[in-house]
Copies of this chain bind each other. A is one copy, B any other.
């Protein structure tokens, strides 16, 4: 496989810009893959919103992410965006889709092979689409986030740009929460840990569930011990990492991957994570943080946080969760697909 001979289209979501300004894990990963492939000599066309930032060739049919542009109907934008990539399928040797179940419905209408990275199953109601197209090519982002019966070629862990998150050698005394304000993310459990441990908790993230925020988060905010600071981009995250003793990630449903765990670890911040879903794959218990089953265990783990070597956290990220590692993983998958396709069409 000579890389420059192969042309890859990356189909990014368009909820947000690629990469997103703040929140937007799927767009972040699609961006990291795109830029990683370009850095390694691949010919890449990125299908994303027009305001996206990339070193690849950008192809856009919508100006901005539909979450950032009230003039756009999300459904209209999605249909236009996805179909555009498939209408140009003949220009590519591979379409690498990050566009959930919707893009699958176009895959049988083109000859170009399509690889779908499944960033998560948002609802049981979308499963009929995956079941119909189960013979396609799929990558899971953790071993735990897999659906039965799909043709998975590999698990490829999400990778981040470590240079964005420099090591915070000392850290600080605060607990931090980073993520969507949603019951799935266990913000209420993080608050409980903070109160029981007597440590300050700083909460950052977009409010996705207004009622949850109003009823289970807001009443605890006191401008002193429990603070909410809104969403945080990269600079904001680094400020938080600099003052963090640990990141609390007490998710209440199985985590699909957990990008923020990796970002925290990259900065040397130990992670206390609920042992649900992918957390066990991302966090090495006792080495880059602690896996717990409940609030009591989380409080206990805080007492052992000094055992964690901050440099070891970053080293593990570099080894398993860097852009290079991720892109190497995808290169192996691409190679498998090209071999399979070559056999299929003699």
Listed in ascending order, the chain A residues whose CB lies under 8 Å from chain B are 71-73, 75-76, 79-80, 82-83, 86-87, 101-102, 105-106, 108-110, 123, 125-126, 128-129, 132
What's the minimum C-beta distance from A226 to chain B, rounded to whole angstroms?
36
- A73's nearest neighbour on chain B, judged by CB, is B125
Of listed A82, A105, A110, A123, residue having the most chain B CB within 10 A? A105
What's the minimum C-beta distance from A101 to chain B, rounded to whole angstroms?
7
What residues of chain B lie closer than 8 Å to A128, measured between beta carbons? Answer: 76, 80
What residues of chain B lie closer than 8 Å to A123, measured between beta carbons? Answer: 73
What's the minimum C-beta distance from A198 to chain B, rounded to whole angstroms?
45
Taking a contact as CB atoms closer than 8 A, the residue among B76, B101, B106 that contacts A106 in the complex is B106
The reply to whether B125 and A72 form a contact with Cβ atoms under 8 Å apart is yes
What residues of chain B lie closer than 8 Å to A86, measured between beta carbons? Answer: 109
A75-B75, A76-B101 in contact; A106/B125 too (CB < 8 A)? no
The reply to whether B125 and A76 form a contact with Cβ atoms under 8 Å apart is yes
Add 10 more A-B contacts to A76-B101, A79-B105, A79-B129 (CB < 8 A). A71-B125, A73-B123, A73-B125, A73-B126, A75-B75, A76-B125, A76-B128, A82-B105, A83-B106, A83-B108
A sample of 22 cross-chain residue pairs with beta-carbon separation below 8 angstroms, ordered by A number, consists of A71-B125, A73-B123, A73-B126, A75-B75, A75-B102, A76-B101, A76-B125, A76-B128, A79-B101, A79-B105, A79-B129, A80-B105, A80-B128, A80-B132, A82-B105, A83-B105, A83-B109, A87-B108, A87-B109, A106-B106, A106-B109, A109-B110
Q: Which 8 A-B pairs have the closest CB atoms?
A: A83-B105, A109-B109, A73-B125, A79-B105, A87-B108, A76-B126, A76-B125, A79-B102
A283 CA to B123 CA, complexed, in Å: 48
What residues of chain B lie closer than 8 Å to A101, measured between beta carbons? Answer: 76, 79
What residues of chain B lie closer than 8 Å to A105, measured between beta carbons? Answer: 79-80, 82-83
- A123's nearest neighbour on chain B, judged by CB, is B73
What's the minimum C-beta distance from A84 to chain B, rounded to whole angstroms?
8
